[in-house]
């Protein structure tokens, strides 16, 4: 087992260590810090690692933006369905069950609009 935190804490002690394990730890640390990866760019294994990390390395701000836009979209869709259900109720042409089938809203929510 490798204790990465201890290795990185004492990285200066391993500057001259070019064993594969030390290289992996430095490469992973470099990617985590989004630092210059050119030291590892000529190694095909580390190049694959870098490309894989690029695919899954989204910033928390980006993820929050995506989550919020999905949430906002869902709220807007729900609100629209509620407005449609309310108008349908006011027209009195359809039953609560029919309005539920059209809007996808639960019958209880539609009854609450009365």
In angstroms, the CA 6 to CA 2 distance is: 9
Please indicate, yes or no, if residue 61 is contained in any of the structural domains: no
Q: What is the pTM of this model?
A: 0.45
Whether residues 31 and 52 share a domain: the answer is yes
What range does the domain containing 12 cover? 4-56
Residue 108 pLDDT grade (very low, low, confident, very high; cuts 50, 70, 90): very high
Total structural domains within the chain: 2
Residue 100 lies in a domain: yes
pLDDT tens for 52-88 read: 776 565 666 676 777 777 788 888 999 999 999 999 9
- The pLDDT, as a whole number, for residue 21 is 83
Residue 35 in tokens: 């630092």
Q: State CA 20 to chain mean position distance.
A: 32
Rounded CA-CA distance 31/53 in Å is 8
Question: 50-65 burial string, b = 16+ CB within 10 Å, else e?
Answer: beeeeeeeeeeeeeee
């Amino acid at each position: 087992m490798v204790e990465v935190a201890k290795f990185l804490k004492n990285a200066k002690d391993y500057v001259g260590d070019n064993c594969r394990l030390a290289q992996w730890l430095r490469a992973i640390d470099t990617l985590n810090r989004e630092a210059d990866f050119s030291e590892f760019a000529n190694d095909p294994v580390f190049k694959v690692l870098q490309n894989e990390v690029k695919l899954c390395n989204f910033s928390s701000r980006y993820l929050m933006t995506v989550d919020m836009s999905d949430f906002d979209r869902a709220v807007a869709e729900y609100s629209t369905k509620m407005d449609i259900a309310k108008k349908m109720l006011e027209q009195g042409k359809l039953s609560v069950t029919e309005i539920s089938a059209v809007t996808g809203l639960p019958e209880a929510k539609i009854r609450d609009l009365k």
